Amino acid sequence: MKTILMLTFCLALSSFGDTAPRNYELWEPQAAPNNGRSKWESTKSSKRPKSYDHDWERWSYPIGNGYTGVSIFGRTDTERIQLTDKTLHNRGIYGKGGLTSFAEVLLDFNQQKVSNYRRSLNLNEAIAHVSYMHKKVSFKREYFASYPDNIVVIRLTADKKGSLSFTVRPEIPYLAMKQRTGSITAVDNLLTLKGTMPLFSCNYEGQIKVLNEGGSVSANAKDGTIKVSEADSVTLLIATGTNYRISAKTFRNASAKKLDPKQFPHEQVSARIQLAQDMGYAALKENHFKDYQNLFGRVSVNLNSKPSVDPTHILLQKYQKGKTNTWLEELMFQYGRYLLISSSREKSLPANLQGVWSQDYYTPWSGGFWHNINVQMNYWGSMSTNLGECFQAYTNFYKAYLPIARGHAADYVRKYNPKQLTKGGDNGWIIGTGANAYYIPSAGGHSGPGTGGFTAKLLVDYYKFTQDKKYLEEVAYPAMLSLSKFYSKVLIPHGNKLLVEPSASPEQTSSAEQVKGMPGHLKGGRNYITAGCTFDQGFVWESYSDTLSLANELGNKDPFLDTIREQITKLDPILVGADGQIKEYREENHYSDIGQPRHRHISHLCPLYPGTLINSKPEWMQAASKTLDLRGDRTTGWALAHRMNSRARLGEGDKAHEAYKRFIRERTATNLWALHPPFQIDGSLGTMAGVAEMLLQSHDNSIRVLPALPKVWKTGHFDGLVARGNFVVSAKWQEGKASLISIQSRSGGVCRVNYPGIAKATIADSNGNAVEVTREGTDQIHFSSTLGETYLIKQIQQ
């Protein structure tokens, strides 16, 4: 099996260089420590909720299939396997719902003195492994979470028959907190955990099937455990489910009416377990591998690194002590892709703030979908790293919440600009910051309504990358037209300008002293609320501009487009201040006249990344660079990721790398999870996007190859990254110079490529025939591509 799997991986790597596949894994010579949820009730802050668990956060290994997240400790005394189901929420930290741990599955082995211990998380296969010797017997475990079969599989083997004896002892966590009911039953070889979260009428069920080969199993009905005695090997099948339905009703209804209390997940959970049992371990593994590899195997990034033999925490420690290492940088890029595939699939909810992993009672910031940067950042790299399918989870979420977002838009217009309200008609849609699986907020408060444009950028980009016309017609364009309608109704005339009002630069805080005499006011004594923050103006501009460009593609002539054409000229979104900075607020003169100078959010640079407006003028790009210098890199996990992507957009490869370096040094746990802190997935996924953005860009109608290559990535190659227009790009470079670029056209159309000196290069199709190109100066060419054809660009002279 292994040989076949590795061969498939090898073949999946395309043209350049690597003949042998690179094996990316995290590994440790020790199990994860487990001191338990040691700090219950220690703090009430949303950053460190009540059940903070250092060992879980820093040492456990995550696997997941989008629906269910599993954290593995790999222990030999008592193994701890913690399960999360994205749909299981309690009241949460803000009382509006929040992710909470689903279950703990403990395996009592009582094997204290072991040797040759190794645990690993293999990213090529998405399988976690544990192996060790105990009393001269070699034990092995494999863990994976299959998306196609929606099942978690754990396989335990030993090299001597009859050596596996342990007790499977599940726990329903946080029962004592009285927000859930629950009981465990053990019958034959099946453990069932079930109960209700009364707040949302959420019924949940988890099943664990214990399949032994050799030996025996016996259920202890009284304490809800199953004992395995002297088995040769054991397969554990685990499935979780709830009666959650993603729908407007779930978001809209009062708490107890969100879900149907009469619906139980019992049948679907049982069916999944039965199917998995019928399939058997080998078929499950193959299904999982094929599904995973189809996504993961599409991209390789080789930074000319030497694979490390160090355990991951040592590898990280060395990097943290000052020795950068491109192997770790590559590994973390692929880990980002792994984490996205594991936490966001077509039919699952999107990746939340922690992806799909939470051992918490109250997950930090409710484990929600935070729309003032975090959830968008989760998907920034989904398209460029060839994982467009993972974004579909967000599209489905968007479709489900759209009716609520429409309601919010109407209420917003009614509240802030009632004259513009179209009664009973279309007022567009808007979403605010703190959404979760049960709740969709309106915009406002510490983040202005730019949150809508921030979100919509993802929908536009999905189309631009995939060129999926159906998506354009049915999702992206209607979304943009409607969002623009909303914006058109909330812009307030200020002289000859149109400004968003009220407007707030997300979460920036000011002192009363700072804003004395300013036109805005402080809300809650902290957030400065005013008119026309760059964040809001910028996203109105981006949304208008995207709407016009999509309308153009469709040849759509909606009369409302004229309103957009007229209003876009009055937005005046980018202003440069006295210190040469991009202003965050219109009324600021010098940098940080208003707001904290080192604030983590750089919302006024959103029109640089993920937006495009700042990119259009060199003087604005210079001002953006200055702003980043002033803001500095002393910041949190995801905030470094935003800086990294912004530097990449500016073509500042070394500075982008500085941000990445700092992220790895200061905001990365030993299991390579991103730390804000606490653990949030956004930093991992945001820096993954950052690596791709340094190697390939396509935001300005041109494929820019190696646009922000840092000096330390002197030589290397990448295969399979994606550019807008649906081009799959590979490139090879030496001493900082591209020697070979390959472009596969997946949708046909004009292909424009930008690289220093490219005009003199030779370009051939897959048959070696020269391709006719149009040269635009020395550094840019374009040609008409044929769907399915691959083009090779060689002899690039700089």
Interface with ligand FUC (CB under 6 A): 353, 365, 370, 372, 374, 507, 600-601, 638, 676, 680
Joined together, the tokens standing for residue 760 give 């003199």
Return d(Cα 660, Cα 690) in angstroms, integer. Answer: 8
Helix axes 312-320, 326-343, angle to 10 degrees: 120
Phi-psi region of 172 (alpha: psi -120 to 50; beta: other; left: phi over 0): beta
Using alpha carbons, list the distances in angstroms from residue 649 to 579, 612, 645, 694, 726.
Answer: 21, 9, 6, 8, 20
Residue among 587, 630, 584, 586 nearest 607 (CA) = 584
CB of 359 to ligand FUC, least distance (A): 18
51 vs 744 by CB, closer to ligand FUC = 51
461 vs 507 by CB, closer to ligand FUC = 507
435 vs 708 by CB, closer to ligand FUC = 435
Among positive and negative, which fits the CA dihedral 285, 290, 295, 298? positive
CB of 678 to ligand FUC, least distance (A): 9
Please give the residue whose beta carbon sits closest to ligand FUC in the complex.
Answer: 365
194 vs 676 by CB, closer to ligand FUC = 676
494 vs 662 by CB, closer to ligand FUC = 662
**187 CB contacts (<8 Å, ≥6 apart)?**
219, 221
CB of 167 to ligand FUC, least distance (A): 39
288 vs 676 by CB, closer to ligand FUC = 676
Neighbours of 597 (CB within 10 A): 10
370 vs 544 by CB, closer to ligand FUC = 370
CB of 431 to ligand FUC, least distance (A): 14
Query: With helix as H, strand as E and coil as C, how does 165-220 read?
Result: EEEEEEECCCHHHCCCCCEEEEECCEEEEEEEEHHHCEEEEEEEEEEEECCEEEEE
The answer to whether the CB of 464 falls within 8 A of the CB of 456 is no
639 vs 672 by CB, closer to ligand FUC = 639
131 vs 509 by CB, closer to ligand FUC = 509
CB of 437 to ligand FUC, least distance (A): 15
384 vs 680 by CB, closer to ligand FUC = 680
Return d(Cα 79, Cα 743) in angstroms, integer. Answer: 47
User: Residue 492: enclosing H or E segment and its boundaries?
Assistant: strand 491-494
Return d(Cα 367, Cα 353) in angstroms, integer. Answer: 5
46 vs 305 by CB, closer to ligand FUC = 46
**478 CB contacts (<8 Å, ≥6 apart)?**
none
533 vs 705 by CB, closer to ligand FUC = 533
CB of 638 to ligand FUC, least distance (A): 6
Joined together, the tokens standing for residue 469 give 């016309």
Neighbours of 181 (CB within 10 A): 14
CB of 288 to ligand FUC, least distance (A): 31
CB of 378 to ligand FUC, least distance (A): 11
Return d(Cα 543, Cα 476) in angstroms, integer. Answer: 11
Q: Are strands 727-734 and 497-500 parallel, antiparallel or unpaired?
A: unpaired
CB of 574 to ligand FUC, least distance (A): 23
Return d(Cα 72, Cα 70) in angstroms, integer. Answer: 6
CB of 451 to ligand FUC, least distance (A): 11
Residue among 430, 416, 445, 618 nearest 540 (CA) = 430
CB of 571 to ligand FUC, least distance (A): 25
372 vs 627 by CB, closer to ligand FUC = 372
CB of 553 to ligand FUC, least distance (A): 34
Q: Are strands 78-85 and 68-72 parallel, antiparallel or unpaired?
A: antiparallel
The answer to whether the CB of 202 falls within 8 A of the CB of 259 is yes
The answer to whether the CB of 637 falls within 8 A of the CB of 659 is no
Joined together, the tokens standing for residue 36 give 């338990």
CB of 434 to ligand FUC, least distance (A): 8
Q: What angle do CA 473, 474, 475 make, to 5 degrees?
A: 105
614 vs 639 by CB, closer to ligand FUC = 639
CB of 54 to ligand FUC, least distance (A): 19
Joined together, the tokens standing for residue 438 give 């049960």
152 vs 339 by CB, closer to ligand FUC = 339
Q: What angle do CA 765, 766, 769 make, to 5 degrees?
A: 45
Q: What does 524-540 look like in DSSP terms, one character per residue? A: TTTEEEBS--HHHHHHH
The answer to whether the CB of 672 falls within 8 A of the CB of 718 is no
The answer to whether the CB of 190 falls within 8 A of the CB of 266 is no
CB of 43 to ligand FUC, least distance (A): 16
